[in-house]
Amino acid sequence: MADNSFAAVMLLCACSIFVIVLFILVILILRSHLSIVQFGWKFFVSQAWDPVVGDFGALPFIYGTLVTSLLALVLAVPLALGVAVFIAELCPQPLRAPISFLTELLAAIPSVVYGLWAVFVLVPIMRNILGPFLVKTLGWTGFFQGPNFGVGLLTASIILSIMILPIISSLTRDIMMAVPNSQREAVLALGATKWEMIRIGVLRNSRIGIVGAIMLGLGRALGETMAVTMVIGNHPEISRSLFAPGHTLASVIANEFAEATGDLYLSALIEIGLALFLVTIVVNAIARLMVWAVTRGAPARGA
Amino acid sequence: MGVGILVEDLNAWYGSNHTLQDINLHIPANHATALIGPSGCGKSTFVRCLNRMHETNPIARATGTVKMGEIDIYNDASPVEIRRRVGMVFQRPNPFPTMSIYDNVVSGLKLNGFRNRRILDETVERSLKQAALWEEVKDDLKKKSGASLSGGQQQRMCIARALAVDPEVLLMDEPASALDPVSTSKIEDLIFQLKSQYTIVIVTHNMQQAARVAENTGFFLNGKMVEFDSTHKIFTNPRDKRTEDYITGRFG
Amino acid sequence: MSTQPFNQPRPPMNFQTRGMRINSARRTVMNYFVGGLSILATIVVIIPLLAILFYLVYKGASSLNLAFFTHIPVPVGESGGGMANSIVGSGIILTLASLMGVPFGIAAGVYLAEFGQGTFLANAVRFTADVLNGVPSIVMGISVYSLIVMPQKHFSAFAGGVALAIMMVPTITRTTEEMLATVPHAIREAALGLGVPKWRTVISVSLRTASPGIITGCMLAFARVAGETAPLLFTAFGNQFWSFRLNEPIAALPLQIFVYATGPYDEWHRLAWAGALVLIVMIMVSVTLVRIFANRGVLKGGS
């Protein structure tokens, strides 16, 4: 009898996880109802963001989110994979623990602290050193036009890439180390170099998991708020130049929520939150499935 | 043709564990040589020294000379080159699960830069025929993954994969111990056919298997090679008492 | 069909040709090249990240003084002052969050590990918890705002606590489950075999054995939410003064860092660096302790 009640209590607590997700979903839908009714699907393709008139569209934020997240991935993924390969396969034994520990520490640094550093170190670097350098070398691409004040899409992308790198790297390393040694030996015994052994025996076997790790990094980048809002310039417009200020779905909420006057304004922001919620749920679900497929039960840490 | 292997004063360590002590032996070309002995006696370590797989373990060390034909495998050639020329089949079959049967077998060739479709196709057919697997898989070469075969088939595919790069020596570390009796006997038949073309070294804890396939047998005990002679002599009239004790089942 | 192998003529493959030697050289070069790339990646990653850490320590340490820990913010223009109220406020919010989140998390983890193994429900809970971990924290913030702040019409420490609590639950659930899984079945069976009821076994045997690891998991979740700013933006909201009441806005360390970092005054910036250092030290200590406990916990509770 006591056993059953105990088990029931535990079960109820486990269901609290579902309750949390449902509650978030329901409340967001409820509170964004106004905006959904007013704008419908056009909300996601409209560039308007005019609190005065009461016209809201999320396209600039979708653009900002996509650009910063994808650029962050482009910057972070090669480096993260390189680090993972190094730690998992090439690193001498005594260095392994310190480097892994360092990566874990870096993943634990809060967003606001990264943002603080970005505001006072990265922004000046972007303004004075990196920006002019990019204009000189890659200016012809058209992505580096216009005034460069140090804040903007590129700076946000860079700080994002620094933030998602430890996650992608740690998870990739875990996945690589889960590949059985028999695979490595099979490749070596055919007469392969170390890199070929890594390529065929390890990376090839962990392809799916690595994609999952990258997607987890993407999921984190999509929702990252504080560091981004501190360096992105907070300007709801779409611009081709990476120097231009912008906004992401997360940063516009952080920036304007407190000042949102009027129910429609608030509702529009909450609808953006709902969109963010759904997108990150989908991305994370797919990512977890992929990682699970390779490691047969996702590790508790990570993201 | 296969080559003979001459081992002189081979010593091997795992960390501080002196796994092999003063091994001296000559493995004749184009014959099958069996290595028997109780668990942990060093026969697997010995075999891994023959294709320089032993040194892939960071705490492993080896001294002495191993000559394949005229070449000192530790000083005259790179491990990459040696491992191509000395093929290895492991105790548990280890096909590449993300590749088809075809891709598994040609994986070694592709490493060496062979891209010509005709050469690859011919090699696949030849190797799978040598491994007595061709008839069973010839229609599914590119459709089935290497891991979807049965255990015995997987092992024969691994043998084909090793043969595809044209080795001179084939090392087999208890190749049939994880397989059922039918597969085991297929593999033993294979060894019989292959030994005229390759030098085969087979580690086994199954003495009947040694008697069936190998012309020569070496008995290992506690890191030393106690006796090496023709299989017939080892099993009917061994010189050393320890050998006699082992083959009559008093230990191990 | 016969499966007898028939002797095939030896192939015409010649591994000694000039082409083969070039191929061999190319592979060796490639091996060293890739190895070099991965070392380069590690350096490119580790050094700037170390630089961030040291810069933070340097700027923060030079801004720290005793007043930081004992004073509340002073009016703009005056020097001095500190973030004492933020530190205390964070402590209050985190305590609230832990009181709410830890029991649910541990209970859910107990369910997953002890009662629900293999069931569809358990798998769903586990999967949902992992996905929930990836939801942006700002979404949690605006959800709790909609649920608690809007009806109450004021910000509160309580709302902040709830927001952080729902972030802690999934993490604690998963780590508790993982730690309980390391408890050997033999121990449980011994207790059950002696006639101890299941609920008692879970508490006295499983939980007790895994307790170092479970505490570790809670510390990890604690450290993670301690640095979160976004969920507090619209719940706890921040406060310039001392506040100990749960239904009033309250200061929090990461919140205050954000406000100061994005403000125009140098004095504020100084305080932001100091606050960031305090936050980082706290988090690093937690992560390090987690590492130590995890190693000991595994040895103690594992098989």
Q: Which ranges constitute the DSSP H helices of chain C? A: 18-63, 66-70, 84-110, 120-133, 137-144, 150-152, 157-181, 185-193, 198-201, 208-226, 230-233, 253-261, 266-301
The answer to whether A94 faces chain B, any CB pair under 8 Å, is no
Tell me the pLDDT tens digit for each residue of B61-76.
999 999 998 889 999 8
Tell me the pLDDT tens digit for each residue of B182-235.
889 989 999 988 988 899 999 998 888 888 899 999 999 999 999 999 999 998
Tell me the pLDDT tens digit for each residue of A24-74.
999 999 999 988 888 888 888 888 888 888 888 889 999 999 999 999 999
| Cβ pair B84:A191 closer than 8 A | yes
Determine the Cα angle at C245 with ends A262 and A17, to 5°: 70
* Domain presence at residue C35: no
Return the domain boundaries, chain B.
5-95+167-247
The answer to whether A224 faces chain C, any CB pair under 8 Å, is yes
Chain B residues with CB inside 8 Å of A205's CB? 96-98
Give the one of C8, C10, C23 whose C-beta lies nearest to B112's C-beta: C23
- Supply the pLDDT for residue C132: 92
The residue of chain A with its CA nearest to that of C108 is A14
Within 13 Å of residue C74, how many CA atoms lie on the same side as its CB?
Answer: 12
Average pLDDT of the residues of chain A: 89
The residue of chain A with its CA nearest to that of B108 is A190
Tell me the pLDDT tens digit for each residue of B100-131.
999 999 999 999 888 889 999 999 999 999 99
Using a pLDDT cut of 70, give the percent of chain C over it: 90
The answer to whether A207 faces chain B, any CB pair under 8 Å, is yes
- Supply the pLDDT for residue C13: 60
pLDDT band at A300 (very low <50, low <70, confident <90, very high): very low
- Supply the pLDDT for residue C5: 45
| Cβ pair B166:C4 closer than 8 A | no
The residue of chain A with its CA nearest to that of C273 is A116
pLDDT band at A296 (very low <50, low <70, confident <90, very high): low
Mean pLDDT of B23-44: 91
Using a pLDDT cut of 70, give the percent of chain A over it: 97
| Cβ pair A288:C130 closer than 8 A | yes
What is the rounded CA–CA span in Å between residue C140 and residue C230?
8
| Cβ pair A108:C284 closer than 8 A | yes
The answer to whether C4 faces chain B, any CB pair under 8 Å, is yes
Determine the Cα angle at A46 with ends A43 and A49, to 5°: 90
Chain B residues with CB inside 8 Å of A93's CB? 58
- Supply the pLDDT for residue C73: 79
| Cβ pair A182:B56 closer than 8 A | no
Tell me the pLDDT tens digit for each residue of B40-68.
888 999 999 999 999 998 889 999 999 99
Q: How far is B175 from chain C (nearest CA, A)?
A: 18
The answer to whether A30 faces chain C, any CB pair under 8 Å, is yes
| Cβ pair B83:A189 closer than 8 A | yes
Statement: residue C301 has pLDDT above 70: no
Cβ within 8 Å of B, C 57-116: none
Mean pLDDT of A129-154: 86
- Supply the pLDDT for residue A299: 43
Q: Which domains does chain A have, with CATH numbers?
A: 32-295 (1.10.3720.10)
Chain A residues with CB inside 8 Å of B84's CB? 190-191
Chain B residues with CB inside 8 Å of C6's CB? 129, 193
CATH code of C159's domain: 1.10.3720.10
The residue of chain C with its CA nearest to that of A76 is C45
Chain A residues with CB inside 8 Å of B94's CB? 182-183, 185-186
| Cβ pair B129:C20 closer than 8 A | no
Ranges A95-99, A111-115, A176-180, C35-39: which has the least confidence: A95-99
Q: Is A225 in contact with C137 (CB distance < 8 Å)?
A: yes
One-letter amino acid at C230 equals A
Chain C residues with CB inside 8 Å of A198's CB? 34
Q: Please return the burial class of B39, using the count of CB atoms within 10 Å of its CB with bins 0-12, 13-18 and 19+.
A: exposed
Q: Please return the burial class of C291, using the count of CB atoms within 10 Å of its CB with bins 0-12, 13-18 and 19+.
A: middle
- Domain containing residue C79: 67-301
pTM: 0.87
| Residue contacts between A and C (CB atoms, under 8 Å) | 270
Tell me the pLDDT tens digit for each residue of C260-275.
999 888 888 888 999 9
Within 13 Å of residue C100, how many CA atoms lie on the same side as its CB?
Answer: 18
- Supply the pLDDT for residue B50: 93
The answer to whether B93 faces chain A, any CB pair under 8 Å, is no
What is the rounded CA–CA span in Å between residue B221 and residue B223?
6
Give the one of C134, C170, C272 whose C-beta lies nearest to A220's C-beta: C134
| Cβ pair C24:B80 closer than 8 A | yes
- Supply the pLDDT for residue C203: 87
Residue-wise DSSP of chain A: -HHHHHHHHHHHHHHHHHHHHHHHHHHHHHHTHHHHHHHGGGGGT---EETTTTEE--HHHHHHHHHHHHHHHHHHHHHHHHHHHIIIIIS-HHHHHHHHHHHHHHHHS-HHHHHHHIIIIIHHHIIIIIHHHHHHHHGGGSSS-S---S-SHHHHHHHHHHHHHHHHHHHHHHHHHTS-HHHHHHHHHTT--HHHIIIIIIITTTHHHHHHHHHHHHHHHHH--HHHHHHS-------S-TTS----HHHHHHHHTTT--SHHHHHHHHHHHHHHHHHHHHHHHHHHHHHHHHHSS--S---
Ranges A100-109, B22-31, C216-225: which has the least confidence: A100-109
User: Strand B224-230 vs strand B216-221: parallel, antiparallel, or unpaired?
Assistant: antiparallel
What is the rounded CA–CA span in Å between residue A26 and residue C169?
19
One-letter amino acid at C286 equals S
Chain C residues with CB inside 8 Å of A300's CB? 171, 174-175, 177-178, 217
Give the one of C3, C7, C13 whose C-beta lies nearest to B136's C-beta: C3
| Residue contacts between A and B (CB atoms, under 8 Å) | 62
Q: Which of C33, B165, B235, C139 is nearest to A284 (CA)?
A: C139
SS3 state of residue C238: coil
User: Structurally, how many domains does chain C consist of?
Assistant: 1
User: Strand B32-36 vs strand B216-221: parallel, antiparallel, or unpaired?
Assistant: parallel
Mean pLDDT of A257-267: 86
Please name every residue paired with A56 in a beta bridge, in sequence order, or none if there are none.
A49
The residue of chain C with its CA nearest to that of A289 is C127
- Supply the pLDDT for residue A302: 38
CATH class of B5-95+167-247: alpha beta
In a mutational test of the C interface, the residue from A9, A151, A226, A296 whose CB has the highest number of chain C CBs within 10 Å is A226
pLDDT band at C21 (very low <50, low <70, confident <90, very high): confident
What is the rounded CA–CA span in Å between residue C232 and residue A133?
39
> Which chains contact B through at least 3 pairs of Cβ atoms less than 8 Å apart?
A, C
